[in-house]
Chain A
Amino acid sequence: MIRVILIDDEPLARMVIREYLADFPQVEVLQECNDGFEGVKAIHQHQPDLIFLDIQMPKINGFEMLELIDQPPAVIFTTAFDEFAIRAFETHAVDYLLKPFNKERFGKALQKWIDQQKAGGKNESTNEVLEEAALTPSQKERVVIKNAGKIKIIPVQDIIWLEAADDYVKLHTREGAFLKNKTMGYFEKSLSPDQFVRTHRSNMVQVKEITRLEPYEKETWLAILRSGEKVPVSKTGYTKLKSVLGL
């Protein structure tokens, strides 16, 4: 039995997938979800083999939803029109369905996945797609995190500074610090370099939060933030800061 979940905010879009799935008796639809929040819950609850996922959805989009899941299941993306998403899929050869799609095309995508499973293939490419999708304009504006079981959307301008913490990155905001399971390198790529500067191997700072720079030890500095926090700045970080500030 292949256990699947359908996640799409348009009921008719889910209906058509259900209809096509009638020809695949080995597939069982565990649940239909209206948005990413329901999706996260349902995936944690059912641990499906495969999900059909729309990109443009209310509040959090399909990519952001996947970021919230520790071990995302296999995904077949469905989307009507999204240049960036399509570019991400094409670069990483993930299967995706462009709406409207017919039964043959749908069957092919599903069969391809089934064959991959038989061959013992894994879904490595999902993470790569997420990396790529992080560079799309909408993804650069906010970060979606899970905090004490709740999903929180943080607009990037609310992030004061970022700090590396083992496998996570700690996002410091006025409301406190939140963990995101990404690397500093990821944020360095996705955040606007004019707004955030990698001031140190293990931190990044939003430029407009800096009130002044103080010399610390030999060739290192301390950035004093508006919040009163002090963040170490390395020599390379200092050079970067100077060029962003136009000094």
Chain B
Amino acid sequence: MSVSKFWTVFSACWVIAVTLQAKVVYGFGFSFQTALIDSLISVGTLSLLCLFLCGSLAYYLPEKSKYIYLVVWSVVLALLWTLYLKWGLPKPSTDVPGYVDFVERSLIVRFCIGLLATGSVALASLLWYSLQEQKEVEKRRTESEQMTREAELYKLRQQLQPHFLFNSLNSINALIGSRPDQARHMVQQLSDFLRSVLKKEESQWVSLGEELQSLQLYLDIEKVRFGHRLDATIDCDEATASMKIPAMVLQPLVENAIKFGLYDTTEAIQIPIRAYVDKGLLMVTVQNPFDPITHSPKSGTGFGLSSVRRRLYLLFARNDLLETTAGEQIFTATVKIPQPA
């Protein structure tokens, strides 16, 4: 319901209530003026209380188990209103003969009407605000679901790496004829690798050992493809044994290193990967050779690296967890992973 619609309905109710009450009071034999003043004062104050109630619920909506507060709140407001009518009526109306007495006698009825009004306003507000809240939650959920879906799709595209996949299949195809055992072995490695990629979820922490294992599978497959040209080694300190790392942080770094290493030179290349601990942080460095003439070091901040940086930022709200340095012919990427408490 829009705000203007709310005010229209509210004003209409107010006019009806004022008319009705004035008519009733008039029926008791008071002058039209007295009846109108009585009606305006009591309905006016009651509607102010109702507005207050409605407004206050916008800031505090009791939980399901605490709806009793709402009842208490309505009773208290109705009671306050009745007490005001008993003692707080303004001067001129109290001078009308018999009027004060009339008010005294009608207090119970007035209290009941007041309670009815505050109670129904409280209930209506509760319903309305809950609905509003539910809508909001729903909206947030669809939004976040959509984002998740997009991220998923993106992740899939990223991880499936068509170029890698099809070239690996081509290598297997080549091996089937002459070296069927090796072909089988590679099918196994490729399946294990794909399984490990599919199993991982973005937010998930995995042990370093697990991550390095799937990295090793990837490297083994690449070694079959590129033969003697690729020499990648994984080397980790004992202290890293119990450490954890968010899944799929290392993979893009290694892919990047292989891509630049293998396609930027024609010689055999070395990709050393090293894990160690520094000041409580897990550090992993990945190095690759590059050609400084055809690639300026700044192009090292390629797509793979920027996506890793983004993920680290989303996870830890820090921008300094991925460092890259370009030496004379060696490019080094270092990730620092704060350990979960």
Contact = CB atoms under 8 A, between A and B. Distances in A.
Contacts of B227: 10-12
B207 to A, nearest CB: 32
A142 interface: yes
Contact of A13 (B162, B163, B170, B294): B170
A58 B169 contact: no
B299 to A, nearest CB: 9
A129 B266 CA distance: 25
Interface in B248-307: 262-266, 291, 293-294, 296
A80 B174 contact: no
A59 interface: yes
Contacts of B163: 56, 80-82
Given A13-B167, A56-B163, A59-B266, 6 more contacts: A10-B167, A10-B171, A10-B226, A16-B170, A58-B262, A155-B294
Given A58-B265, A59-B263, A59-B294, A99 B169 contact: yes
A-B interface, 5 closest residue pairs, ranked by CB to CB distance from nearest:
A80-B166, A16-B174, A99-B170, A12-B174, A100-B173
A12 B229 CA distance: 13
A58 B262 CA distance: 6
Interface of B: 162-163, 165-167, 169-175, 177-178, 224-227, 229, 262-266, 291, 293-294, 296
Given A19-B178, A155-B294, A10 B225 contact: yes
A28 interface: no
A155 B173 contact: no
A15 interface: yes
A19 B266 contact: no
Contact of A9 (B226, B264, B293): B226
Nearest to A11: B227
Contacts of A57: 263
Nearest to A13: B170
Contacts of B266: 34-35, 37, 58-59
Interface centre among A37, A56, A142 (most CB of B within 10 A): A56
B225 A98 contact: no
Contacts of A153: 293-294
Contacts of A98: 166
A1 B172 CA distance: 30
Contacts of A12: 170-171, 174-175, 224-225, 227
24 contacts: A10-B170, A10-B225, A10-B227, A12-B227, A13-B171, A13-B174, A15-B174, A16-B170, A16-B173, A57-B263, A58-B264, A59-B264, A59-B291, A80-B163, A80-B166, A81-B162, A81-B166, A98-B166, A99-B166, A99-B173, A100-B169, A100-B170, A100-B172, A142-B294
A175 to B, nearest CB: 10
How would you classify the secondary structure of chain A's contact residues: helix, strand, loop or mixed?
loop
A35 B165 CA distance: 21
Interface of A: 9-13, 15-16, 19, 34-35, 37, 56-59, 80-82, 98-100, 102, 142, 153, 155
A155 B229 CA distance: 25
Contacts of B224: 12
Nearest to B225: A10
Contact of A16 (B177, B229, B263, B291): B177
Contacts of A19: 174, 177-178
B178 to A, nearest CB: 7
Contacts of B296: 155
Nearest to A98: B166
Nearest to B269: A58
A19 B266 CA distance: 25
Contacts of B171: 10, 12-13
A100 B183 CA distance: 14
B225 A56 contact: no
A85 to B, nearest CB: 11
Contacts of B262: 9, 58
A81 B164 CA distance: 9
B47 to A, nearest CB: 62
A16 B175 CA distance: 8
Contact of A56 (B169, B174, B177, B263): B263
Contacts of B293: 153
Contact of B263 (A11, A13, A58, A142): A58
A44 to B, nearest CB: 18
Nearest to A20: B177
A100 B178 CA distance: 16
A9 B173 CA distance: 16
Nearest to B163: A81
Contacts of A9: 226, 229, 262
